A and B are shown apart, each in its own frame.
Chain A
Amino acid sequence: MSDKELQTQQKREVQQEGEPTKPMRQFIPAVDIYEDDKSVTLLAEMPGISKNGVEVKLDDGSLLIEGSIPDDDKTADRTILLQEFEAGNYIRKFTVSETIDQDKIKAVMSNGILKLVLPKIQPAKPKKIEIKTA
């Protein structure tokens, strides 16, 4: 347990060119990216998105994360007293370097956080060649 207090931050909305065709708002998920010897891990904060609503696409070195919220809004007959957040879809794109083993990327969704593990390509181990005496 740390004593650190959580700093608040606001959702960032995607700045679109032209007018959007969908009424849904699109947000840029906040991400953490960290690295160790074996892999690069990416965490994306997408509250309200279920496992089925996430799409991760890898295309020619660019990684696209998309999350769409399920359409089960039961709030229609309720009166809104306070509204501080809006539900919406999430979208963000990253460039993946060549040192990532693109076939072995793993994705896990839990508690509204998408975790992507991008394993690094292990460099070929140096081969030691023994020299025999003739």
Chain B
Amino acid sequence: MSIIRFMDPPFFRPGLSDFERMRREMDKLMQRKDYNTPFSVGTPVFPPLNIYEDNNNIYVKAEAAGVEADKINISVEGDNLTISGEREQQGKDMSYHRQEIETGKFSRAVTLPTKINIDAVTARFKNGILAITLPKAEEVKPKKIEVTIN
């Protein structure tokens, strides 16, 4: 139930119709030369997310290496979670031999499956992994009903 931002190469002008966009996307798939490599490890979105739940919490993990903790913004609005920020380039104005780590701004929004207790959301950033714990609202937590014997 996530909102996935599709890979949107910059050469798409905004004037293109959705069909044209789709056709180009298909063409690109057909042009893939290395059919033997696994089609996708992860998704073309940043940051990639893993979302888990147990009875009490929803856990969101995001892989965001190289982003400074103070450059990450997390906001919760109703049952929408938004993670945005910016990864900055470390070697500015240097002569690059290789540049594989993409830099720039990112923003990602997901709709959470249940209501959460917004005031008790916590987030931790460690080794490039952002871990957000979102406690479920009391009314959606599973209740155990004791059966008494008369």
Contact = CB atoms under 8 A, between A and B. Distances in A.
Contact of B41 (A1, A7, A12, A80): A12
A48 B128 contact: yes
Interface string A44-65: 0111111000000000000000
A29 B94 CA distance: 21
Contacts of A4: 103-105
A31 B100 CA distance: 5
B65 A47 contact: yes
A86 B129 CA distance: 12
Contacts of A25: 41
A103 to B, nearest CB: 22
Interface in A1-45: 1-13, 15, 25, 27, 30-36, 40-41, 43, 45
A46 B42 CA distance: 14
Nearest to B38: A13
Interface string A84-99: 1110000000000000
A78 B54 contact: yes
A99 B59 CA distance: 48
A2 B86 CA distance: 9
Nearest to A50: B127
Given A43-B90, A82-B2, A113-B128, A6 B98 contact: no
A134 interface: no
Interface residues of B, number: 51
B40 A2 contact: no
B96 A34 contact: yes
B41 A10 contact: yes
A8 B128 contact: no
Given A34-B96, A34-B97, A47-B128, A9 B102 contact: yes
Given A2-B104, A3-B105, A5-B104, A82 B50 contact: yes
A123 to B, nearest CB: 18
Nearest to A40: B97
A61 to B, nearest CB: 17
A32 B65 CA distance: 13
A47 B127 contact: yes
Contacts of A124: none
B106 interface: yes
Interface in A88-134: 109, 111-113, 115
